[in-house]
Amino acid sequence: MKLFSEPYDPNKNILPHGGIVQYHGQLFSQDEALFYFQSLMNEIDWEHDKAIIFGKEIITKRKVAWYADQAFSYTYSKVTKTAKIWTPELQEIKSKVEQQLGETFNSCLLNLYHSGEEGMAWHSDGEKDLKDNGAIASVSFGAERKFAFKHKETKEKLELILEDGSLLMMGGSCQKNWLHRLPPTKKVQMPRINLTFRTIVNQ
């Protein structure tokens, strides 16, 4: 099922049940999106992501970075990372997202996809250090990419296009009931930077 053949409503829950997902569209202007894309590309301390799969360390083409209020440690895919402190640009983006959503966040996981051939497999953000049922705010800069959801039990699927400068919010029991992914595609040649603002607890 594809979404938004009609104008989208940022207050509407696009999931039929089992969680909350709201698409706010382009929160940042074209000029702002370009500025932040270039700043993040050049100033973030990017590194290739690592994951432990079937006991073997896998290094991805995709690059990642982890920033926060303080030097949080965060474990996903059986790999522990330590956060770096916010850059001024990340603080500006975070502030605008928090104002839009009425939420506060203390950390951000960034992903750099060099082209459409780099994506993310089905997963949910259910790490034990995340605030239970807390909001996750996803900001996109650069290439437009398809984003998909799949219910863990019913296998219902939804997909939408994440625009340059856009904001997507996932909340409630979304992570417990739904998987999401960024499907790879050969149609997209340009890079995309994704920021997922989160709230880490139990530190």
Across 151-175, average pLDDT: 96
Is 163 among the domain residues?
yes
Residue type, 179: L
Domain containing residue 27: CATH number: 2.60.120.590
| Distance separating alpha carbons of residues 161 and 148, to the nearest angstrom | 9
Residue type, 95: S
Is 164 among the domain residues?
yes
Is 41 among the domain residues?
yes
| Distance separating alpha carbons of residues 64 and 55, to the nearest angstrom | 21
Q: Which domain holds residue 175?
A: 20-198
Is 15 among the domain residues?
no
Is 1 among the domain residues?
no
| Distance separating alpha carbons of residues 161 and 176, to the nearest angstrom | 23
Q: What tokens does 186 get? A: 């050969």
pLDDT tens per residue, range 63-93: 999 999 987 776 665 667 788 999 999 999 9
Bridge partners of residue 196, in order along the sequence: 109, 138
Is 203 among the domain residues?
no
Is 133 among the domain residues?
yes
Q: How many domains does the structure of the chain reveal? A: 1
Question: Above pLDDT 70, what percent of the chain?
Answer: 88
pLDDT tens per residue, range 54-64: 667 676 788 99
**pLDDT of 6 above 80:** no
The residue with tokens 């104008």 is 7
Cβ atoms < 10 Å from Cβ of 129: 16
Is 170 among the domain residues?
yes
